Structure 1
């Protein structure tokens, strides 16, 4: 099956970021726990972060052969990071974690262009 995304490296990099982030959320590291606490993330949604991030990484990689899945995954990541940015703004947490959320949201949007 041919790989349809071009270039591939931004897709692979964003997928790797999602997988690493999923691992960091599995048993939340202190930095992750503090970030979630700072934005007042409900305890009920925290266990969902690992499977969501694993699904995002997988959707990005599967999108290499099924481009619409890659675009849908990127759109979902943009929405996810829009919620994260909003949570940071509401909590007046505008430091490094806010900048990371903005950057990853923008990167997700740009990676979607690789599938087009």
Structure 2
């Protein structure tokens, strides 16, 4: 029996995506800024994006050793991306950013299987 989730690579990949996304939100690059503007994200939400994404990356990686933490982190990511999808729908922004949020939400749900 392995201590680590199996397979490990989807977890590490999703954690890396969250780290890159956090970096892009810290000082929003043009595409991120436009996306946040398009969905009318309030200032508080914008300030919280980087810490939330870094916490998610940490939770995914610590979840490799403590599986229930990984499952909870994936559930949190599914909820986070569910909110993002809802914001895109409300703003009638159904392009690439909507598809990215939807895809990452589905990926987060699928990654939770690695911890089970």
TM interval, shorter chain, is over 0.9
Distance in 2, matches of 1:45 and 1:32, equals 13
Helix, strand or coil at the partner of 1:44: helix
Distance in 2, matches of 1:23 and 1:61, equals 17
Distance apart, 1:45 and its partner CA: 1.5
* Residue of structure 2 in register with 1:20 after alignment: 20
1:43-93 CA-partner distances (Å, limit 9, x unpaired)? 121111000000000000000000000000000000000000000000000
Runs of 4+, deviation exceeding 3 Å = none
Distance apart, 1:114 and its partner CA: 0.1
Distance in 1, matches of 2:3 and 2:97, equals 33
C-alpha RMSD of matched pairs (Å): 0.7
Helix, strand or coil at the partner of 1:64: coil
Helix, strand or coil at the partner of 1:12: helix
* Residue of structure 2 in register with 1:46 after alignment: 46
Aligned ranges 1:66-105 → 2 under 5 Å: 66-105=66-105
Segments of structure 1 that go 5 or more residues without pairing to the other structure are: none
TM-score (norm 1): 0.97
